[in-house]
Chain A
């Protein structure tokens, strides 16, 4: 029933580009992408993974190869605007460049861009639920959707707007519609729409860090929520049919601009032009429509009856970084259901030295030490409950820190101090610690039912003490359905046992994050998108 995608390992290969990695012993190459005269190195949103078969044919037909490295849109755009992508990639391919264009430095960092295809972010609901709400025949407004959500008439999943473009697009569309101004959202509007947003997000019962993971979670357990907010293309590609609800007052459409970086070598420009010409040719556009369910990126492509005839009203996108970031912060701090997050942390003897230092830094980054924008969004939020559960041969006493909804300074300091006091020694009892974590997590879930509870398991080695994998599997299966909503996100680090850890992620509906290159802080930050 639950499975982890094999591709997740490749996709999750952390970006070592920041170059601030304190662990030199593994000395990872900053990027593994090959660089030759036939290859465009593309920093891309994981959304375009489904273009790989088409791009394989581009390689065959026009001799242009594409090497992808996947990253979340917001994190990726920050890399580009800061110049950290220079020399490592030739081009970007994110769902859109709008957030990027708001960042200082973005205009000079990017050169030509060509829109390849498009897909709006919409709500997909189970047919019976949509019919019951009357949305199979009439498209509701966002305000009507928010009202139905507040009345408990449906539940849904959505990605985290701080980590994923589809969630951010939906947040912009609903906030703009609720503002009722008919124009782009401004700072002044955000306070006014916060109550409406709270209504709308009260029905969100599933979160994820990427649109692909969200779709997989929904496919694996379609009963968990009544629907998901995602790209129209993703919803149309699901096995189970959903009613696609396109809000009548506007959606945010992704237009997938393939964008050449200004820093790219001159030899890459002809490759870029050849590839974009090919991708925008009528034949290839028709393939994109047929194979990915995205709308064409250029005019004059006949799509037949693939898409509904109704006019797709486009929501204006904010024009300042401040509005975008305030909206995301409001979502995280005020509007969304809070998270309860348990960190199961290996402090066995093998962690001593650089590894423990990396763990301490990763935790401290989430507790306010990382001052980048993406780092700021990944930080622990107001109303969140953070539980630190260090373990060696036995789990230590859990340290539970509730972050208040006004001033989080003291709580964050306590987390940083706790991190500083971690000591590494003795053996590794992974399953005993995880068992303890699930018992705690279930208590916490019962205590605060309207929260997203999840576990992070970080270990650098194999299980040496305590219960076995089989014993844990039996324990987990006996927990029943309550535990099935509590995923474990595992971090591969040091000499972590890939097979055993992947099994844990798979069993619990979680996901594997790779920090084998030493970038533990990057992996922790990425996991935050899923909590």
Chain B
């Protein structure tokens, strides 16, 4: 047989297949519009670099915010990282400031870097994004209630009891008409192993499970760990960034995410944004865990330039107003209220029943113990691992 001829045929075929791939490439009829970026900045601006929690990225990219920094001679360049990563794994060489969304993470960085001061220009309470039918069910079951001012609250102790009891949505009175799901009553959160908003949720839940006391000892941790672990493990897969579950809530709706633990700013910021507001439909609402915890966005300056950023954020009223437009609560509550009122939104009251997070070490210790349960291998199954 003519092997050579066949080999040539084979090569031609191979070449044709490559052409096939190339043909599958989607060619444009016009060339691209050139490389982006390259916005010319005033030459004399001092470049200041910061590592921040991703939820503040839109704020720092806002042209008005950039203009105010530029007025003060600064060009603030940011990269984003999870607040807990900032405290542990991110290389801070050459970084002028960090801006995590949690006070414990900031405290740890301050201690380790020897920063002399920190700035906490704005904060956001933890809140639960949910839907009217869900709130009706929770209210009928005595888990949620509305205060005189109209704000809804979730009774965390009653909620934990419901989760402990393995309560399903369709076991709640009225579920058949409102939310006939056999899934467990459970708040969705981010991945506790990676994300600060889940750690804030853990702060709240562990406080309540520990008899309204901050968990600060191994004994207390041992007493509550099973109860709080199940809040995360039962969820199954959860995303690592705080945007993901909230986006699922907005786009996939009540069937996917009946309740999501978020920063209040995510919801309010969306309501006040020009392009995003229509994502919030009439049946969506925020309810506040009682107690709640505050995500205190805290600047830890690592250089003098970083210090200037922290000072401006704390003292420039225009920056406070812009932060409020993104749903954050600046120190001056009237700035926050004015922004909401301007957008025709009700002003949620300042949270009264607020839990302080555990120390950085206590919180990390609980997270480590929960994380270990994700890795627990099978017991009593016969799956063959190759």
Instruction: Point out residues on A near B: beta carbons under 8 Å.
Output: 9-10, 13, 26, 28-29, 32-34, 37-39, 52, 55-56, 58-60, 62-69, 98, 101-102, 107, 115, 118, 141, 177, 180-185, 187-188, 190-191, 248-250, 253, 255, 267, 270, 274, 295-300, 311-314, 316-320, 322-323, 325-326, 329-330, 333, 349-350, 370-373, 375-377, 379, 427-428, 461-462, 464, 492, 494-496, 498, 514, 516-517
Contact = CB atoms under 8 A, between A and B. Distances in A.
Contact of A65 (B27, B247, B251, B253): B27
Contacts of B36: 270, 274
A38 B181 CA distance: 47
B42 interface: no
A299 B21 contact: no
A33 B21 contact: yes
A376 B385 contact: yes
B234 A184 contact: yes
A428 B3 CA distance: 13
Given A187-B379, A323-B378, A516-B13, 10 more contacts: A32-B18, A55-B26, A64-B32, A182-B168, A187-B380, A188-B380, A299-B247, A314-B252, A316-B235, A320-B375
B199 interface: no
Most chain A CB within a 10 A radius of its CB, from B194, B256, B279 = B256
B385 A67 contact: no
21 contacts: A10-B17, A29-B18, A38-B31, A55-B26, A98-B237, A107-B194, A118-B251, A181-B184, A182-B166, A183-B186, A299-B251, A300-B279, A311-B253, A312-B256, A313-B181, A313-B255, A316-B183, A317-B236, A320-B375, A333-B384, A377-B386
Given A33-B25, A59-B27, A190 B381 contact: yes
Contacts of B247: 115, 298-299
Interface residues of B, number: 70
A64 B32 CA distance: 7
A326 B383 contact: yes
A450 B377 CA distance: 34
Contacts, number: 224
Contacts of B29: 59-60
Interface string B16-54: 011011111111111111011100000000000000000
Interface in B165-214: 166, 168, 179-184, 186, 194
B181 A371 contact: no
B250 interface: yes
A427 B3 CA distance: 12
Contacts of A517: 14, 17
A249 B181 contact: yes
Given A322-B377, A495-B10, A253 B234 contact: no
B386 A34 contact: no
A459 B195 CA distance: 53
A18 to B, nearest CB: 16
B183 A329 contact: no
A479 to B, nearest CB: 30
A516 B17 contact: yes
A379 B384 CA distance: 11
B235 A34 contact: no
B181 A188 contact: no
Nearest to B168: A182
B256 A253 contact: yes
Does more than half of chain B's interface fall in helix, strand or loop, or is it mixed?
loop
A319 B238 contact: yes
Given A299-B251, A314-B255, A495-B9, A319 B30 contact: no
Contacts of B380: 187-188, 191
B67 interface: no
Contacts of B10: 26, 494-496, 516
Contacts of B31: 38, 63
A328 B286 CA distance: 39
Contact of B381 (A37, A118, A326): A326
Contacts of A373: 386
Interface string B151-176: 00000000000000010100000000
Contacts of B33: 62-63
A329 B247 CA distance: 33
Most chain A CB within a 10 A radius of its CB, from B7, B248, B384 = B384
Most chain B CB within a 10 A radius of its CB, from A350, A428, A464 = A350
Contact of A118 (B20, B235, B252): B252
B278 interface: yes
Contacts of A295: 252
A250 B183 contact: yes
Contacts of A427: 1
Contacts of B6: 350, 461-462, 494-495
A39 B113 CA distance: 42
A508 B254 CA distance: 46
Contacts of B1: 349-350, 427-428, 461, 464
B240 A13 contact: no
B150 to A, nearest CB: 25
Given A319-B236, A376-B385, A516-B14, A37 B252 contact: no
